[in-house]
Amino acid sequence: MKITKFIASALVFLVFQSCTKEVDFNQLDDANINTTYNSTLVYLNLTAPKFLDQFNQEITETFDLIEAPISTDYKAYLEKLEFTIITKNGFNRTFRISIIFYDKYKQPIYELQPIINVPENSPEITTIVEIPKEDISVIYNTQYFGFHIFLTPSDDGSVITINDIATLNLKSSAKLYFNFRKI
């Protein structure tokens, strides 16, 4: 019995002795944690009345303004920012969509490029637009995103009427890429 305990103790001692080495806690200073954050921005299902005035006459522009869900807490770690815009157009008309960033006074400070063209009667189209690295800092002065939708003139002179059953669908999201590291 004493021999078994001695052998077990010796084995435990050897296992722990052979598996340990110095731990360099300074390695934590070199650690990087890469992560992404997805934020849904807007979902619009626009019907004919959205493109008509109070007299049911066609208008050339409509827009939606939403609060920007971006915090400045992690601005030192943001490395990349992408916007995904998904459109589907049931109208016999082409649309152009411009995304403009606004400050807290609702003044425009940046326009996302390129402007998105949505062809007439188009199936679902996904467009990904990346903000250039040198422009990323503008996001921290952004309080609102504006989705401006422009209706282009028709080739045949037709107009949208109150009886149109077509829709323009717009979904968008922002994907933020962070690299958390010691600064």
Does residue 74 lie within any of the structural domains? yes
Residue 94 has pLDDT above 80, yes or no: yes
pLDDT higher at 34 or 47: 47
Does residue 7 lie within any of the structural domains? no
In 48-181, beta strands by DSSP E: 61-67, 78-89, 95-102, 108-111, 116-118, 125-131, 144-151, 167-181
Residue 137 sits in which domain range? 32-181
Q: Are 167 and 46 in contact (CB under 8 A)?
A: yes
Tokens of 181: 């590291």
Does residue 72 lie within any of the structural domains? yes
Tokens of 83: 């916007």
69 — pLDDT class (breaks 50, 70, 90)? confident
Q: Out of 10-24, 30-44, 114-128, 140-154, give the one with best mean pLDDT.
A: 114-128
11 — pLDDT class (breaks 50, 70, 90)? low
CATH number, position 124: 2.60.120
Residue type present at position 116: I
> Taking every pair of C-alpha atoms in the chain, what is the biggest distance, in angstroms?
102
Q: What is the pTM of this model?
A: 0.77
Q: What is the pLDDT of residue 51?
A: 94
Total count of domains within the chain: 1
CA proximity to 178, closest of 81, 40, 79, 83: 79
Task: Write a three-state SS string for 31-80.
Answer: CEEEEEEEEEEEEEEEEHHHHECCCCCECCEEEEEEECCCCCCCHHHEEE
Per-residue pLDDT, averaged over 93-111, amounts to: 95
